[in-house]
């Protein structure tokens, strides 16, 4: 139970972070520490695909080695084929130069395919793991987290992981192997020239890192300004914002503020583009200058060797011309992978930030789970006695007043308990506690004398059906919406439930009968029809205990009567805990609980409470009197 506060907190913290993030663009902008535990955990995700990963690594190494082949062929062509005017050698070397890229390309395609397979599969695994975990999280999580955020993690974050796997990871390995193979090739050709080129490397690294830092700073400033700007627009262009602006004549002020922020953004954007431009300018200049220096030094050594023959590097005549050409070719291919590696750090941070966000959700405690050895009662053996014993409940631990305080009552099997009282009195909360959507802080809620926490969740779910005010239909056929109640029901049982809920005839009038698609974007059913479908769903489930939040919205007399018929059938013989909005329900109740501020303030039957002349009597005059009593007190 100690998790309560932390739970809500983590949900909100995550929400706040997301809000910042959606404002601040890509996750790569965040300075995010890469934790060892995250790395290991990400590694485990790849375990089922280790064979593919191994092949990818092999391909990357082979491709890197192949990258050294053509520069070396250059040397052979110049030093051997040209020098000896050998057509045969020329054909062989040129042939190799043609075949190498063909093989490289083919291997590259294969690697891309394997990458895609691994990336997509890992993503699929993560998505399913995340979804099934989310599903099992308590209601508390969903009330404390914005829907948009949950969807974003499921869609964007998991989606971003694909990019990480297919691009970032391979980029690291391929650049590393390419750089290593290139340096090895350079060393083989001439260790002196290699040292010379690498001597300039620190300068290159220094500039790259420095520019990277500036870029990161500018871009995070840019993203922050963008976020401010959209927050400003959202605020001032909302209905209330506009109203305030207009009524107080603050248009000019608002416009100036907006213009100021936009001006900042413009300056930052220009800066961002220029930092990038400088960087690429630097790199390309560097690439061009280095070979020039190498030619200079190599040339000097070559001449020196010719004239004085002193030791420089292995220069047996024209042999070294090929070496120098091959060397500079190799070398020009060295700095690109190095630059990439230096920049990739940002991407790695972003990637692990993504994984952390996903893991954060996967690690949220489930809170409401079967305790070890929880009791499972077969469906048929539940009698349906309900009791609350000194129940106390806070939505947020130690924050504010309890939503439910010192609530005790009993409902014998088949009885109807009606909850009435002003809004915010805790009626809905009581129904949630009975369904074990939340666990109580103190006291106990029991079915047939068993604490809900001692029963399996499945037992509680089996025993109970909930009909809420807002009827929710999945975007699916009416049949499937009914089958939610009992998936294994036969078509006859579905229709029987439809009849019992007085909705069968109406369904048969629809274009495809029970196979008509209902739900948000489906066939538009009226409020009364939706209510009856919800009741039919509960009838089909045939639970021992019914939790009912009666609709407040007024229906026309005809629909009202049909809903009433359906309700009567549904409540028949079941223990019902109803948030009552209908006069007929309170009049039929075995017990009415009048609630105020989380407590039961009066209890009794309609007649008793009316005679008592207290809070219920007043409520009755306000809320129920004047309602048709139609088939009431049946
Ligand atoms: P009723 O159904 O009688 O209108 P509720 O049971 O919905 O009352 O609410 C009881 C109290 O609990 C109210 O003060 C309400 O503000 C609070 N409450 C309801 N839901 C939540 C929630 N998810 N988080 C925090 N407080 C809540």
Higher pLDDT, 556 or 607: 607
Mean of per-residue pLDDT scores for the chain: 84
Per cent of the chain over pLDDT 70 is 90
For residue 428, the model assigns a pLDDT of 94
Ligand 1 site residues, Cβ closer than 6 angstroms: 143, 395-396, 403, 421, 423-429
Nearest residue by C-alpha to atom 6 in ligand 1: 426
* Residues 6 or more apart whose Cβ sits within 8 Å of residue 176: 337, 341
The residues that bridge with 375 in the sheet, in sequence order, are 455
Average the pLDDT over 163-188 and give the result: 86
User: Which homologous superfamily is 383-633 in?
Assistant: P-loop containing nucleotide triphosphate hydrolases (3.40.50.300)
More confident residue, 420 or 353: 420
Asked if pLDDT for residue 218 goes beyond 90, the answer is no
Q: Which of 126-140, 257-271, 304-318, 448-462 has the lowest mean pLDDT?
A: 304-318
- 19-33, 161-175, 472-486: which has the minimum mean pLDDT? 19-33
Other CB atoms within a 10 A radius of the CB of residue 523 amount to 15
pLDDT at 305 exceeding the cut of 90 = no
How far away, in angstroms, is 598 Cα from ligand 1 center? 9
Centroid of ligand 1 to alpha carbon of 597 (angstroms)? 10
Q: What pLDDT was estimated at residue 561? A: 82
As a whole number, mean pLDDT of residues 241-269 equals 89
pLDDT band at residue 31 under the 50/70/90 scheme: low
What pLDDT, on a 0 to 100 scale, did the predictor assign at position 318? 39
Probe residue for ligand 1, chosen from 424, 470, 549, 596 as the CB with the greatest number of ligand atoms within 8 Å:
424
- Kindly indicate the confidence band of residue 373, based on its pLDDT and cuts at 50, 70 and 90: very high
Would you tell me how many other CB atoms lie within 10 Å of the CB of residue 345?
14
- pLDDT tens digits, one per residue of 46-65: 999 999 999 999 999 999 99
Q: Atom 27 in ligand 1: which residue has the minimum CA distance?
A: 395
Domain boundaries, the chain: 22-362, 383-633
Cα torsion angle, 284, 288, 293, 295, sign: positive
Q: Span 434-461, mean pLDDT?
A: 94
DSSP 8-state class, residue 520: T
Q: What is the pLDDT of residue 30?
A: 47
Selected residue with higher pLDDT from 387 and 344 = 387
Quick one: average pLDDT of 181-198? 89
Please tell me the distance from the alpha carbon of residue 357 to that of residue 349, in angstroms, as a whole number: 12
Q: Specify the residue with its C-alpha closest to ligand 1, atom 23.
A: 143
| Mean pLDDT value of segment 151-162 | 79
Closest residue by CA, ligand 1 atom 22: 395
The reported pLDDT for the residue numbered 16 is 35
Mean pLDDT, residues 524-541 taken together:
87
What is the β-pairing status of strands 591-596 and 575-579? unpaired
Residue of the nearest CA to atom 13 in ligand 1? 424
Conformational region of residue 83, where left means phi above 0, alpha means psi within -120 to 50, and beta covers everything else: alpha
- The CB density around residue 196, as the number of other CB atoms within 10 Å, is 18
Question: In whole angstroms, what is the distance from residue 471 CA to residue 551 CA?
Answer: 9
Sheet holding 464-467, edge to edge: 464-467, 545-549, 575-579, 416-420, 591-596, 599-604
547 C-alpha to ligand 1 centroid (Å): 17
Instruction: Say yes or no to pLDDT of 105 above 90.
Output: yes
Q: Are the C-beta atoms of 482 and 507 separated by less than 8 Å?
A: no
Query: Which of 99, 89, 70, 100 shows the shortest CA–CA distance to 329?
Result: 70
Write down the architecture of domain 22-362 according to CATH: Up-down Bundle (1.20)
Whether 478 contacts 503, CB under 8 Å: no
Atom number of ligand 1 nearest to Cα 429:
6
Lowest-confidence range among 148-162, 354-368, 465-479? 148-162
Signed CA dihedral, 326, 329, 331, 334: sign only: negative
Ligand 1 atom at minimal distance to the Cα of residue 432: 6
Which range, of 82-96, 314-328, 601-615, averages the lowest pLDDT?
314-328
Angstrom distance (rounded) from CA 269 to CA 130: 37
Q: Could you identify the atom of ligand 1 that is nearest to the CA of residue 423?
A: 4
**Cα atoms in the 13 Å half-sphere on the side-chain side of 263:** 6
Q: Which atom of ligand 1 is nearest to the CA of 549?
A: 2
Separation of CA 424 and ligand 1 centre (Å): 5
Candidates 4, 11, 395, 595: which one to mutate for ligand 1, based on the most atoms within 8 Å of Cβ?
A: 395
Q: Is the pLDDT of residue 372 over 80?
A: yes
Q: State mean pLDDT over 12-35.
A: 44
What integer pLDDT is reported at residue 521 of this predicted model? 65
Most ligand 1 atoms within 8 A of CB, residue of 426, 552, 580 to mutate? 426
CB atoms within 10 A of CB 618: 11
Position 9 pLDDT exceeds 50? no
User: Quick one: which atom of ligand 1 is closest to the CA of 421?
Assistant: 3
């Amino acid at each position: 139970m100690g998790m309560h506060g932390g739970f809500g907190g983590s949900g909100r913290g995550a929400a706040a972070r997301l809000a910042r993030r959606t404002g601040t663009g890509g996750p790569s902008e965040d300075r995010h520490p890469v934790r060892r535990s995250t790395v290991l955990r990400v590694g485990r995700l790849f375990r089922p695909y280790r064979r593919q990963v191994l092949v990818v690594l092999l391909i990357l190494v082979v491709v890197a080695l192949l990258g050294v082949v053509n520069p070396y062929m250059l040397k052979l062509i110049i030093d051997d084929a040209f020098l000896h005017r050998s057509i045969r050698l020329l054909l062989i070397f040129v042939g190799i130069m043609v075949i190498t890229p063909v093989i490289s390309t083919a291997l590259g395609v294969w690697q891309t395919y394997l990458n895609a397979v691994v990336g997509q599969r890992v993503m699929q695994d993560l998505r399913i793991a995340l979804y099934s975990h989310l599903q099992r999280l308590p209601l508390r999580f969903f009330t404390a987290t914005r829907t948009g955020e949950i969807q974003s993690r499921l869609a964007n974050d998991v989606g971003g992981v694909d990019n990480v796997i297919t691009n970032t990871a391979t980029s690291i390995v391929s650049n590393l192997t390419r750089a290593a193979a290139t340096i090895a090739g350079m060393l083989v050709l001439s260790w002196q020239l290699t040292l010379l080129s690498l001597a300039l490397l620190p300068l290159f690294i220094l500039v790259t890192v420095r520019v990277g830092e500036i870029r990161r700073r500018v871009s995070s400033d840019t993203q922050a300004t963008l976020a401010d700007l959209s927050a400003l627009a959202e605020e001032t262009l909302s209905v209330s914002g506009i109203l305030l602006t207009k009524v107080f004549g603050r248009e000019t002020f608002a416009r100036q503020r907006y213009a100021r922020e936009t001006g900042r953004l413009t300056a930052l954007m220009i800066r961002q583009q220029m930092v990038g431009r400088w960087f690429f300018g630097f790199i390309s200049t560097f690439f061009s200058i280095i070979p020039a220096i190498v030619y200079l030094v190599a040339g000097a050594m070559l001449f020196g060797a010719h004239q004085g023959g002193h030791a420089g590097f292995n220069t047996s005549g024209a042999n070294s011309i090929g070496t120098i050409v091959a060397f500079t070719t190799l070398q020009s291919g060295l700095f690109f992978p190095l630059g990439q590696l230096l920049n990739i750090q940002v991407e790695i941070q972003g990637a692990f930030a993504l994984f952390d966000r996903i893991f954060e959700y996967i690690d949220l405690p489930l809170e409401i789970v079967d305790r070890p050895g929880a009791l499972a009662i077969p469906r048929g053996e539940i009698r349906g006695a309900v009791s609350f014993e000194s129940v106390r409940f806070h939505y947020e631990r130690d924050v504010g007043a309890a939503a439910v305080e010192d609530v005790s009552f009993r409902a014998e099997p088949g009885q109807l308990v009606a909850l009435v009282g002003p809004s915010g009195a805790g009626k809905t909360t009581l129904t949630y506690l009975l369904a074990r959507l939340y666990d109580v802080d103190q006291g106990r809620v029991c079915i047939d004398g068993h604490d809900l926490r001692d029963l399996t969740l499945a037992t509680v779910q089996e025993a109970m059906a909930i009909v809420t005010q807002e009827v929710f239909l999945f975007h699916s056929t009416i049949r499937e919406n009914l089958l939610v109640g009992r998936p294994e029901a036969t078509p006859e049982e579905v229709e029987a439930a439809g009849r019992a809920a007085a909705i069968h005839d109406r369904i048969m009038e629809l274009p495809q009968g029970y196979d008509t698609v209902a739900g948000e974007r489906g066939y538009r059913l009226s409020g009364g029809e939706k209510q009856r479908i919800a009741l039919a769903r509960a009838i089909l489930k045939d639970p021992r205990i019914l939790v009912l939040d009666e609709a407040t919205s007024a229906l026309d007399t005809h629909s009202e009567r049909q809903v009433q018929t359906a309700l009567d059938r549904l409540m028949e013989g079941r223990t019902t805990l109803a948030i009552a909005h209908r006069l007929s329900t309170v009049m039929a109740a075995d017990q009415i609980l009048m609630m105020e501020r989380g407590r039961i303030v009066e209890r009794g039957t309609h007649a008793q409470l009316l005679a008592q002349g207290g809070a219920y009597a007043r409520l009755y005059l306000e809320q129920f009197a004047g309602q048709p009593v139609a088939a009431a007190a049946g």
